[in-house]
Each structure stands twice: as structure tokens, then as C-alpha cells.
A and B are shown apart, each in its own frame.
Chain A
Amino acid sequence: EAGVAQSPRYKIIEKRQSVAFWCNPISGHATLYWYQQILGQGPKLLIQFQNNGVVDDSQLPKDRFSAERLKGVDSTLKIQPAKLEDSAVYLCASSSHGAVGVDTQYFGPGTRLTVL
């Protein structure tokens, strides 16, 4: 079974530029998550999709971040314009509800963003 795919793996941009990340979840997984992991911290949820609908985007800085999941499969996360504090690893994860109470998330390798 193929895992969660993300691209690019690394991205360096200057502040005020735009950037987009792509995620392809595990086949059949209805739920997709985007996390931001700043160096030295744990992952922080930015947005959660159930199929192509948004379940939770309460921690997404909507003035500069946007995400979509057209057709309920692939997803893109965009930052426009980027700030220095956006430097982080952006992780995509997917899950399908298996056994009762279990909602194991499978993570992609992440995209490391550096904003100069």
C-alpha cells in the first residue's frame, strides 16, 4: 500500500512570495489533514478535510493560508504572501476510521519550507 505522498520535499522562497504544497493521501482515506511543524515543536493542525469538505480550519491563518481538496482526493496548501515565521515543515496526513475509537493518522514525509 502506497503511503502519503507530498511534494516538493524542500522549498526556499523569499518573504512575500507565494508557495504551494501538494498532498496525495493513501487511497481510500476520506480524512486529510495539514499540519505545520515549527522546529522544536510538535505538529500543529492547520486544516482537516472529510472528503472534500472542511471539518476544522480554526487554526489556519486565513489571511494568508488557503487549502483545497477538490474531488476529495489530492489536496493543495497555499501560502500567499509568505512571512519569515512560516518557515516550518508542512506535514500532510490521512486517515480512515477503522476500529472503534481509532483514528490513526498516516503522515507523509513533509515539505520543509524556508522563508528568507
Chain B
Amino acid sequence: DQQVKQNSPSLSVQEGRISILNCDYTNSMFDYFLWYKKYPAEGPTFLISISSIKDKNEDGRFTVFLNKSAKHLSLHIVPSQPGDSAVYFCAARGNDMRFGAGTRLTVKP
């Protein structure tokens, strides 16, 4: 059962522009949402999170938005840098942690 979905397997943006990664979920009991970044041959690393009681959390170039009514969250990266090229996983915490399938972001110089 795919409770967390990332419908875009890949995204390509130009350096300096905004990257927007999207994530949808089905379980309204999720109380915490996280984004992880993964480079090849490495494990995922925590990037940013948001509680279900908030609608926005910002950390430097990274901002996560949560729309509970739409069961949708997004990660904005501004400005995008080539070093941001990686696979980004959306995760949601309920009884356990559920991950999306990931979106591969490529930032072109």
C-alpha cells in the first residue's frame, strides 16, 4: 500500500532557479513529514521536516510546505545548485515511517 507517493521520478532544473519536489499522502494520521536526500552509494540523509500542525518550515535554501486538506507537501530549493543533484525521498511518520519512491533531481550548471 503506497501511502506516500512521489509521482515525478525525475526533475531537471537550471542552476539558480527554483526546484519544487512534490509528495502526496493518503493517511491522515501521519503527524510528521520529512525530506531525505540521497547521493549514489550513500544512505539517505535528513534534510528538513515539518510537523502536521504547521504549514511551512524553512531552513536556508530549503522550504517545506504542507497542505493538510490536500494531503500534499512540497520541498522548494531556492536557488538550486549543482550539488543539490540527488534523489529526494519524502517520508511520513505514523505508526512507522513510510517513504515515497523518490524523485531524482538534476541541477544543470
Distance of A109 Cα from B40 Cα, bound (Å): 9
Contact-size category for B: 20 to 34
A96 to chain B, nearest CB (A): 13
Interface residue stretch chosen among B11-19, B64-72, B74-82, B96-104: B96-104
The residue on A at minimum CB distance from B36 is A107
A92 to chain B, nearest CB (A): 8
Does B34 count as interface, using CB distance less than 8 angstroms? Answer: yes
Chain B residues within 8 Å of A93, by CB: 43
Does A64 count as interface, using CB distance less than 8 angstroms? Answer: no
Chain A residues within 8 Å of B91, by CB: 42
Chain A residues within 8 Å of B34, by CB: 104
Does A45 count as interface, using CB distance less than 8 angstroms? Answer: yes
Chain B residues within 8 Å of A106, by CB: 45-46
Q: Decide if the interface of chain B is mainly helix, strand, loop or mixed.
A: strand
Q: Decide if the interface of chain A is mainly helix, strand, loop or mixed.
A: loop
Interface residues of B in 51-109 (CB under 8 A from A): 51, 89, 91, 93, 95-102
Distance of A56 Cα from B93 Cα, bound (Å): 14
- Candidate in B45, B49, B96, B100 with the most chain A CB atoms within 10 angstroms: B96
List B residues at the A interface (Cβ < 8 Å).
4, 6, 31-32, 34, 36, 41-46, 49, 51, 89, 91, 93, 95-102
Instruction: Kindly list the 8 A-B residue pairs having the minimum CB-CB distance in the complex, ordered from nearest.
Output: A107-B43, A42-B99, A104-B46, A43-B99, A107-B44, A42-B101, A45-B96, A42-B100
List A residues at the B interface (Cβ < 8 Å).
4, 33, 40-45, 48, 56, 91, 93, 101-110
